[in-house]
Amino acid sequence: MDNVVGKFGSLVRGQRTPIEMVLLALILINWAPTEVLGPTLHSKMNSVLGPVLSPVKSLMSHVFVRLFLWLILLWSCCFAKDMKLFFLVAIYFMSSR
């Protein structure tokens, strides 16, 4: 078990920055207050971002991607004590519902 956690931990440590950047981008886009732009620009933003974000949201909601993120959540909390990564993944899970 310890060997599996070690290998998974080295994988996550090596890819920590890209994982954090993707999660940050998805959280910020999801919570962006585009309504402030007015009805016309709000609808234009949705029409531009819709075709781009739809495949990304579909990929991120896949069961294996969610499992991988859940394992990162568990690893960052219990083994690495990396609270920055833990909170990013937790916020992503809460905002993707």
Buried b (16+ CB within 10 A) or exposed e, 29-47: eeeeeeeeeeeeeeeeeee
Note the pLDDT tens digit of each residue in 8-53. 889 888 988 898 998 888 888 877 777 787 888 888 888 887 887 7
* CA-angle at 33, arms to 35 and 86, nearest 5°: 155
**pTM: predicted TM-score of the whole model, two decimal places:** 0.74
Domain ranges of the chain: 16-95
Question: Is the confidence at residue 82, as pLDDT, over 80?
Answer: yes
Rounded Cα distance between 62 and 17, Å, is 21
